[in-house]
Structure 1
Amino acid sequence: MSCYRNCVWDTYYWRFLDDDEENSEQYGELLLARRQYKMRVRINIDNWDDLDFFMRFRLQKSTVRMILDIIQPSLEIDETRSRYIQPLVQLLVALRFYALGSVQIAVADFAGICISSVCRIIRRVSFALAQLWSRFIKMPKTQHELHAASREFYSIAKFPRTIASIDCTHVKIQSPGGDHAENYRNRKSWFSINVQTVSSANLKILNIVARWPGASHDQHIFNNSSLKMQLERGDYGHFIIVGDSGYRNTKYLATPFLRCETAAENLYNESQIRTRNVVERSYGVWKRRFPVLSLGMRVIISTVQLIIVACAVLHNIAIDAKEEVPPPEIEGFEEMLAATVVPNASNTEINDAGCVRDHLVQNYFAQL
């Protein structure tokens, strides 16, 4: 009796023949017969109430409609084509992939769309969202914005002159293969993109670099970023950013002491660590809202980079819209999330001449 099995590309099928059938000694033959297309029911935004929709797509319906108004021109295709997929459906497919953190075939079954269309949709929507980075991901520029940011950070732990907190986090991916695959293996022995972000006091992402493999050190990523060039050029005046001990102390980046010798240094460390913590909290919120950043992506590197930036844009839009943070739905998610942040503490402290840390200790914390 013949046995049939679907092929990966879901277009052709194999026919396996028994040895006794038709006196054939072959193991099987490929029948080039195209399978009949079956129209399936596609997702509709009205299929769920507000709570169910939020749990499945991690954003409220009103926020999704607002995003659609912005990116709809980028998602329009020829409506006369057969099996036309509406821009709203395309956006929901991408959001479901970001929220599900699973293989694309699961999203295809959920949306009633073939897997090849889901692959193209995820890339198209991610590209459209990533193009909005300059609108939604930006550092404070004007004096009013800089002073407002400094006041927000000062209210956390009374650390002066701070406008942002910087760190890196690892976004899990599958092995990209090729000669340079090991460059993506991080210190936790899994493959990742090392993503540098700068966070505001209210957990928004102000700057993002999502192009370095997991083996890259935080300081190396910062050295090659446009943010460092802006800081050295003095674009932010006397204001500074804070980071962990994986970064070098400079006149514009304050890091903690590895060994405190005075009360002022202890006070400095306590205030600096509490102030810096906002970037770690932003990672927790960001990855809980879009679990695909923690669970891993099985797409090519260029699409991974688009998805990371797209999720950063959506994260900032959600904060502006005062969206709630979705609860973790996966057992052990919090432990897995904590493991995605790889510390990069230096063994020895490196200080640049005139670093801001010594100035703050001598002229501010020693007076408290």
Structure 2
Amino acid sequence: MQKFLKGKVFARAECNTSHRSVDDTSIYTGQPKSTTRNPKWPEDHNVILGELLMEQYVNGNFYNGNLRKEQWSTLVAALNRRLGSKYTETSVMIRFKNMKADFRALYQLTNCSGWGWDDELHVPVAPDELWDEIVQETYLHNGLSILSAPILVFMLQKFGCSFMSNYLRGVIPDVLCDLVDVQLQVNDAIVELTASILEEDSSSEDEQRIRRPMYDRSYTGHRYVLDVLAGHPGRAYQCFRLPHEAFVSLTDLLVTRGHLRDTKNMLAAEQLAIFLRGVAHAHSYRQLCEFFQHSLETVSRYFNVVLRAIVSFADEFINLPQGDVEYHPFVRSNAQFYPFFKNAIGAIDGTHIPAVVNNNLQNRYRNRKGFTSQNVMAAVSFDRQFVYLATGWEGSAADMRVLRWAAEQGQFTVPRNYYYLVDSGYANTDKLIAPFRGYRYHLADYRRNTSRRYAVQQELFNHRHAQLRNVVERTFGIWRERFQVLTHMRQFPITVQADLVIACAVLHNYIGRYHGHDMYFNMSQTEMEHDNERGEIDMSDKDPNLHTTIGERIQGEVVRHDIATDMWNDRVSIDLSFFLKFQL
């Protein structure tokens, strides 16, 4: 029976006695499970049920203290066949539940109260110290100086607990009365069933119920955070993926805005450290529990508190450009891009973040490379800042479909006379300038053919376009390099996974805006381990023009043709000037 009770809480046995109330009994045995007593079970039926349960246990049909569901019908059929009865599965289940409840109560009373039971005399037994205490209490409060242990045993055996508890109220311990009542309810079938089971389990239930702290390491998470912040600056990068001063200023910002506060058991800095450690190293909740020495509930709660706090900063740190936009210094200072792309304000692309979803959603979230992901659309400025983000889309969705939703329902707007650079997975419009299809447009294509000159103006346009649009690829690479949860997503609800993407973008912009010297922002593209590893997936087989109008495509073609023509003419004039200078 102890095997059957593995992992279960103790429930009290319900005693049909007048001397004990429900609330008093719960002091010894805890809160009961919902059980309904069935008074129609004869003793011989209990014995047969115990034998059949024992057979099922020997055959390995018990799991976690309960008979497997598919075996109940077999057991009930065998019971009715042997007894000629018509018991239902429900009644047999309830009887077995009551048997376990009786055993739980008996076990706790005999092992946790100091009282035992004599099977031969059928009376409670206790150490001499307890009897001496009873006699002393009796003498002081009732004046019965002749009352002793043998007399109490005789009176209990002769008259029973119900009579003795009324006659000597306050003399006999309440737990002793409960012990007698419960022992009478535990039939031989239960004793026979539990005997063989207890032989296999060397550890006692009493030892299993001893409560001790699970996380008792002296080096706590709070001390770890203090050591990191007070140590070498490189430790903050390794642990939290951001500079020491960025960690301190972000903590102050969250506390000042009222999103975080110091609690009795955890400071705001440690709460933020739990979240950053989780997203920076893709740790699970249980890994964070061991690392910071807090319970699973505590780690989960504060992780989500910090997540919601950082997501609430999205409107402040992720903003689309509005109205007249100045030419970006990066474009203006480069003769290859200016004045041709002077009206470009950034680049747009979709990236696939691994997603952990239920089996019924896997087909929707499975992308062309075969893994489940969420398709994230991001608009990035030329200083590698996210200006727009659309998360939570299934991996099978096309990039243009996500962008069309963002423009129609997601409040994504482009200022008049300005545009974003996109790859061939998007349609070419006056707001989205894509490369010419049918010509080289990846930077790698040009690196492999360094000696080849541009054959037509479309190739020159595509090369310059790819060089400028590459800012979004670099941003994704920095993003993934800093936050490994973007490449090794943990098992969160899909809404939490989408929020984690937003939170990582907010942190990325915060660090880039106030701590631009951060080493991740200064990494070269070849140093990025996760760049273009599994995130970028070309959806070119799906026609992006399906989500645009003819008028938008015509206007986009005019803009692109003018840029390509001006760029080619400038290139020809430079080559001609160089040729004439060489001739002279």
Asked if these proteins are the same fold (TM beyond 0.5), I'd say yes
Q: 1:349 to 1:123 in 2, by over 3 A?
A: closer
Larger mean Cα displacement after TM superposition, 40-49 or 251-260: 40-49
Secondary structure of 1:98 counterpart? helix
Aligned-residue Cα RMSD (Å) equals 3.5
Secondary structure of 2:371 counterpart? coil
* 2:211 alignment counterpart: 35
Equivalent pair of 1:193/1:214 in contact (CA under 8 Å): yes
What's the TM-score, normalizing by structure 1?
0.82
The answer to whether structure 1 residue 173 and structure 2 residue 331 are counterparts is no
Match of 1:276 among 469, 473, 476: 469
The answer to whether structure 1 residue 306 and structure 2 residue 489 are counterparts is no
Q: 1:326 to 1:265 in 2, by over 3 A?
A: closer
Q: Over residues 318-368 of structure 1, what are the superposed CA-to-partner deviations in whole Å (9 max), with x where a residue is unaligned? A: 11212111999xxx9826861222122347684711213223224554454
CA distance in 2, matches of 1:219, 1:255: 12
The answer to whether structure 1 residue 153 and structure 2 residue 331 are counterparts is yes
Cα offset, 1:219, TM superposition: 0.4
Cα offset, 1:115, TM superposition: 1.9
Match of 1:61 among 244, 258, 263: 244
CA distance in 2, matches of 1:221, 1:42: 41
Equivalent pair of 2:344/2:419 in contact (CA under 8 Å): yes
Equivalent pair of 1:209/1:225 in contact (CA under 8 Å): yes
CA distance in 2, matches of 1:169, 1:250: 21
CA distance in 2, matches of 1:58, 1:335: 15
Q: 1:26 to 1:309 in 2, by over 3 A?
A: farther
Alignment of 1:128-143 (within 5 A): 128-143=309-324
Equivalent pair of 2:347/2:472 in contact (CA under 8 Å): yes
Equivalent pair of 2:277/2:283 in contact (CA under 8 Å): no
Equivalent pair of 1:43/1:112 in contact (CA under 8 Å): no
Secondary structure of 1:55 counterpart? helix
Secondary structure of 2:462 counterpart? helix
Match of 2:561 among 336, 349, 358: 358
Cα offset, 1:99, TM superposition: 1.1
Percent identity of paired positions between Structure 1 and Structure 2: 22
Secondary structure of 1:270 counterpart? helix
Q: Over residues 160-184 of structure 1, what are the superposed CA-to-partner deviations in whole Å (9 max), with x where a residue is unaligned? A: 111010001111122x215333211
Q: 1:231 to 1:288 in 2, by over 3 A?
A: closer
Structure with the largest fraction of strand:
1
* 2:226 alignment counterpart: 46
Secondary structure of 2:252 counterpart? helix
CA distance in 1, matches of 2:566, 2:499: 44
* 1:242 alignment counterpart: 421
* 1:212 alignment counterpart: 393
Equivalent pair of 2:473/2:532 in contact (CA under 8 Å): no
Structure 2: where are the runs of 5+ without partners?
Answer: 8-63, 66-191, 440-453, 572-584
- Structure 1 residue identity aligned to 2:535: T
What's the TM-score, normalizing by structure 2?
0.53
Cα offset, 1:222, TM superposition: 0.1
The answer to whether structure 1 residue 192 and structure 2 residue 373 are counterparts is yes
* 1:342 alignment counterpart: 537
* 2:490 alignment counterpart: 297
Cα offset, 1:297, TM superposition: 2.1
Equivalent pair of 1:137/1:207 in contact (CA under 8 Å): yes
Match of 1:265 among 454, 458, 473: 458
- Structure 2 residue identity aligned to 1:111: F
Alignment of 1:101-120 (within 5 A): 101-120=282-301
Aligned residues: 344
Q: Over residues 7-32 of structure 1, what are the superposed CA-to-partner deviations in whole Å (9 max), with x where a residue is unaligned? A: 8xxxxxx89xxx99832289989989
CA distance in 1, matches of 2:409, 2:326: 20
Cα offset, 1:105, TM superposition: 1.0
Q: 1:136 to 1:171 in 2, by over 3 A?
A: same
Cα offset, 1:230, TM superposition: 6.4
Q: Over residues 72-128 of structure 1, what are the superposed CA-to-partner deviations in whole Å (9 max), with x where a residue is unaligned? A: 221237x46xxx222111100000001111322111111111122222222211111
- Structure 2 residue identity aligned to 1:339: R
- Structure 1 residue identity aligned to 2:374: I
- Structure 2 residue identity aligned to 1:300: P
Secondary structure of 1:266 counterpart? helix
Q: 1:324 to 1:364 in 2, by over 3 A?
A: same
CA distance in 2, matches of 1:36, 1:326: 46
Secondary structure of 2:393 counterpart? strand
Equivalent pair of 1:289/1:326 in contact (CA under 8 Å): no
Q: Over residues 158-212 of structure 1, what are the superposed CA-to-partner deviations in whole Å (9 max), with x where a residue is unaligned? A: 14111010001111122x2153332111111111111111111121111111121
Higher relative contact order (CA 8 A, sep 6+): 1
Secondary structure of 2:555 counterpart? coil
Alignment of 1:325-336 (within 5 A): 325=520, 334=529
CA distance in 1, matches of 2:205, 2:333: 69
